[in-house]
């Protein structure tokens, strides 16, 4: 009897057991990288949401003009800090610029994010110098840099050949929606006492739309049109039913379902106190969802 063909054909096949191997390396990109993803969502999202509100409510433009560079540079700073801390040789970070490898999205991203941070710093300078005209002229180049800063991570994840669920084309949309969620949430929190009812309603629409879109994409990727490879199925199993399922579903409830409900309830009842809670919850849930998505593909053996 050819035993190997027998075990390959029957369910018993999975009874093949690794009896000696090197230790499993585990999670390499951990919560430092989650902080990078989360901080970047806020750092660019606040720009997009702020720009939208500035154009829609020009009477209160001064508020948004102040918030954009201050919050933007703070959270892009957090992103860069955790990125540097995650490097095993952080004092060689300057190699990015003296030995650039332009096929690498990590390298391209480092240029883009530093350009965005530089533009935010110039906006901050122009704000203090009260040079409104120059500030306005710089907004659109900064918007382009913010856009590429938002999506470069999707390109970076797509280059990670070993982690298939990061390579989906929807990842770009997820990054943009995360920026929409985070930007509107931060503005709702910061403008809790200074924004009028209309402004809060507009921001809640952005928050509600981004949350709904992002949630729909997650559910589609996991249930409606899941990845089909064996590797991706294992990862999806970890997310939905394995060690990470509690955190994932908590993220979905805290960061997506509850904020969506609160936005609807506040809209129906014309009471806006719940929007602050919705904003806070969406920021917490976003961090958790990003963390699960980052860690899950690192939990399967590659060899």
Cβ-based nearer residue to other proteins, 70 or 81: 81
Contact 194, 201 (CB under 8 A): no
Burial of 89 (0-12, 13-18, 19+ CB in 10 A): exposed
Question: Closest approach of Cβ 81 to other proteins, in Å?
Answer: 14
Contact 146, 2 (CB under 8 A): no
Question: Closest approach of Cβ 3 to other proteins, in Å?
Answer: 5
Q: Could you give the count of Cα atoms lying within 13 Å of 133 in the half-sphere of its Cβ? A: 0
Neighbours of 231 (CB within 10 A): 16
Cβ-based nearer residue to other proteins, 25 or 130: 25
Cβ-based nearer residue to other proteins, 53 or 113: 113
Question: Closest approach of Cβ 247 to other proteins, in Å?
Answer: 19
Question: Closest approach of Cβ 114 to other proteins, in Å?
Answer: 13
How many angstroms separate the CA atoms of 52 and 71, rounded?
16
Cβ-based nearer residue to other proteins, 26 or 169: 26
Site residues, other proteins (CB under 8 A) = 1, 3-4, 7-8, 12-30, 32, 85-90, 92-93, 95-96, 99-101, 103-107, 110, 156, 159-163, 229-231, 234, 298, 300-303
Cβ-based nearer residue to other proteins, 96 or 253: 96
How many angstroms separate the CA atoms of 272 and 45, rounded?
22
Question: Closest approach of Cβ 72 to other proteins, in Å?
Answer: 24
Q: Which residue has the tokens 């990842």?
A: 171
Contact 83, 73 (CB under 8 A): no
Cβ-based nearer residue to other proteins, 20 or 224: 20
Q: Which residue has the tokens 């507009």?
A: 202
Question: Closest approach of Cβ 87 to other proteins, in Å?
Answer: 5
Task: Find the DSSP H helices in 57-162.
Answer: 61-86, 95-98, 105-128, 132-158
**What do you get for the CA distance between the two ends of the chain, in Å?**
28
Single out the residue of 35, 33, 54, 205 nearest to residue 142, CA to CA: 54
Burial of 21 (0-12, 13-18, 19+ CB in 10 A): exposed
Question: Closest approach of Cβ 112 to other proteins, in Å?
Answer: 12
How many angstroms separate the CA atoms of 178 and 14, rounded?
39
Cβ-based nearer residue to other proteins, 13 or 205: 13
Contact 54, 64 (CB under 8 A): yes
Cβ-based nearer residue to other proteins, 156 or 250: 156
Question: Closest approach of Cβ 120 to other proteins, in Å?
Answer: 22
């Amino acid at each position: 009897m050819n035993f190997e063909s027998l075990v390959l054909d029957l369910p018993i096949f999975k009874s093949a057991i690794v009896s000696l191997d090197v230790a499993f390396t585990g999670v390499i990109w951990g919560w430092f990288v989650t902080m990078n993803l989360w901080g970047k969502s806020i750092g660019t999202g606040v720009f997009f949401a702020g720009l939208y509100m500035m154009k829609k409510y020009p009477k209160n433009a001064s508020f948004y003009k102040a918030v954009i560079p201050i919050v933007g540079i703070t959270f892009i700073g957090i992103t860069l800090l955790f990125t540097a801390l995650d490097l095993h040789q952080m004092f060689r970070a300057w190699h990015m610029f003296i030995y650039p490898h332009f096929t690498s999205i990590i390298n391209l991203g480092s240029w883009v994010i530093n350009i965005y941070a530089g533009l935010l710093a110039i906006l901050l300078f122009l704000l203090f110098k009260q040079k409104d005209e120059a500030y306005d002229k710089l907004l659109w180049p900064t918007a382009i840099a913010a856009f590429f800063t938002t999506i470069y991570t999707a390109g970076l994840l797509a280059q990670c050949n070993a982690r298939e669920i990061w390579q989906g084309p929807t990842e770009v949309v997820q990054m943009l929606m995360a920026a929409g969620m985070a930007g509107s949430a931060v503005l709702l929190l910061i403008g809790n006492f200074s924004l009028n009812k209309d402004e809060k309603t507009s921001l809640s629409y952005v928050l509600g739309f981004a949350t709904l879109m992002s949630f729909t994409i997650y559910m589609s990727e996991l249930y409606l049109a899941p990845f089909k490879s064996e590797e991706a199925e294992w990862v999806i199993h970890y997310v939905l039913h394995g060690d990470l399922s509690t955190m994932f579903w908590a993220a979905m409830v805290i960061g997506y379902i509850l904020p969506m409900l609160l936005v609807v309830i506040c809209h129906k009842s014309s009471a806006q106190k719940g929007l602050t809670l919705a904003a806070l919850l969406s920021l917490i849930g976003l961090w958790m969802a990003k963390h699960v998505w980052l860690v899950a593909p690192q939990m399967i053996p590659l060899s």
